[in-house]
């Protein structure tokens, strides 16, 4: 039996929070962790991954830190209008925060998850993805993409 560490808990908490909402709101449960899982699946789809993490000192002279992860939410859609609608929808669902879970793993699979606080969303950068080429030459998964860069905090000091 093992446990996810904080970074994987953050990713998994976002996926577990958004997946049922995405299914009920958009008729899709395609929320994945890697780009490889997005390629070839029906759109719309969302990829959630951890980007950079800043570890600030909690106080002068201490080794304790305050973790500030950046969650990257890539949105893949079938049209430009859908891209704008889904990114606004995702923002509306996460801006108030979401549950943070600790995950226990058995035989490589999640066995249990226990809520252990909340993820606080401190800022959201909202960017359309432009690959710099004519959209008509791109594969469908690259035509209408959006990136949300979500700064979060767990509101706790790590010793």
Domain that holds residue 121: 2-158
Calculate Rg over the CA atoms of the chain: 17
pLDDT tens for each residue of 116-150:
999 999 999 999 998 888 888 888 888 999 999 99
Structure tokens given for 4 = 């996810």
Structure tokens given for 46 = 């969302």
The CA distance from 9 to 40, in Å, is 27
Residues composing the chain: 159
Inter-residue contact 15 to 46 (CB < 8 Å): no
pLDDT attached to residue 100: 98
Specify the CATH number for the domain of residue 98. 3.30.2000.10
The CA distance from 34 to 48, in Å, is 7
Residue 33 is given by DSSP the state S
Whole-structure pTM value: 0.93
The CA distance from 78 to 22, in Å, is 15
The CA distance from 127 to 121, in Å, is 17
pLDDT band at 36 (very low <50, low <70, confident <90, very high): confident
Please enumerate in sequence order all residues whose Cβ is within 8 A of that of 43, keeping only pairs 6 or more positions apart, or say none: 28, 30, 76, 77, 78, 140, 141
pLDDT at 91 over 90: yes
Ramachandran sector of residue 40 (left: φ over 0; alpha: ψ -120 to 50; beta: rest): left
What is the share, in percent, of the chain residues with pLDDT greater than 90? 75
Structural domains in the chain (count): 1
């Amino acid at each position: 039996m093992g446990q996810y560490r904080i970074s994987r808990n953050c990713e998994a908490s976002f996926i577990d929070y958004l997946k049922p909402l995405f299914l009920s709101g958009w008729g899709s449960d395609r929320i994945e962790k890697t780009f490889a899982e997005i390629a070839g699946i029906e759109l719309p789809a969302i990829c959630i991954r951890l980007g950079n993490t800043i570890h600030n000192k909690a106080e002068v002279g201490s080794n304790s830190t305050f973790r500030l992860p950046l969650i990257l939410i890539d949105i893949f859609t079938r049209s430009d209008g859908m891209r704008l609608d889904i990114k606004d929808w995702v923002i509306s669902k996460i801006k108030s925060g979401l549950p943070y879970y600790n995950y226990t793993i058995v035989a490589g699979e999640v066995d249990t998850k226990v809520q252990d606080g909340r993820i606080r969303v401190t800022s959201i950068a909202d960017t359309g993805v432009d690959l710099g080429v004519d959209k008509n030459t791109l594969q469908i998964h690259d035509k209408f993409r959006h990136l949300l860069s979500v700064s979060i905090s767990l509101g706790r000091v790590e010793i």
